[in-house]
Amino acid sequence: MIFKPMPLLTVLTIASLVILVLLGNWQYERYSEKKAQGQVENDPFETMNVEIDTSNDGFAQQVYGIVDGEAIWRRYVPGRIDGEGPVVLLLWDAVAGTDPVPLQISGLGNFEGRANAFERPAQTNGLAGSSNPQRDLWYGFNAGLMLNNLGYSSADSRVVEPDKMRVVLGADMSRVRTAENPYATLTGRDPLPPERHFGYALTWWGMALGLIGVYIAFHRSQGRLRFGGSS
């Protein structure tokens, strides 16, 4: 066999192969992790009843966020789980658009549906400092300050996040859609199923094999790779 590799092409091919294999391995690890999580059946959601505290005559606390790549204002109201215990914050709905829309708490009904109740740490990023409590507007979630802003001095710092959220179009409040709530868990939600990661792994590995094939074919076409020949 005669093999005279082209130096620059060989270096670039090896570097590309390493990257493609690492990407494939990473996707396969994500596939394995999600399959393991599925076997544990770690579902944080349960059917919950939250009684809205309509004795408060204030307005919902609005927190800036992003859903499906779109700017929204999430509107949180005070309530009690099963009508008992301390007051918690419940995500009532969200308004799509850059302009917030006030929501009067009095007159709201109660919530019943699949939701997750947990303690969300206060956000301390730079945007959070731009919050305007006087207007009930927040650029970083802070349960303690939001509840204090509503007049609750002794309250639970937990938040109740529904599995799905209602998103109202700010420019036309009659238009409503339902979206998966990306804020429903502390670490965020990963929408990709395990099988998708496995498919990505096969794609990256397949590209690596294809690159090897192209490398060999190119050297053969240039006469730099011959089998069974002599120099």
Residue pLDDT, tens place only, 106-163:
989 999 999 999 998 887 666 666 889 999 999 999 999 999 999 987 666 789 999 9
Q: How many CA atoms lie within 13 A of 155 on its CB side?
A: 24
Kindly tell me the burial class for residue 223, based on how many C-beta atoms sit within 10 Å of its own C-beta (0-12, 13-18, 19 or more). Answer: exposed
Determine the average pLDDT of the residues in 72-92. Answer: 94
Indicate the range of 94-108, 179-193, 195-209 predicted with least confidence: 179-193
Q: Is the pTM of this model over 0.75?
A: no
52-64 per-position pLDDT tens digit: 998 878 999 999 9
The full DSSP string for 15-62 is HHHHHHHHHHHHHHHHHHHHHHHHHHT----EEEEEEE-TT--SB-EE
Q: What is the pLDDT of residue 91?
A: 97
| Cβ atoms 215, 221 nearer than 8 A | no
**Of 93 and 186, more confident:** 93
Give the residue from 158, 178, 156, 152 showing the smallest Cα distance to 167.
178
Q: What angle do CA 224, 21, 227 make, to 5 degrees?
A: 20
Residue 41: pLDDT over 50: no
The full DSSP string for 60-89 is -EEEEEEETTEEEEEEEEEEEETT-SS-EE
Q: What is the pLDDT of residue 40?
A: 42
Provide the token pair at 110.
């109660």
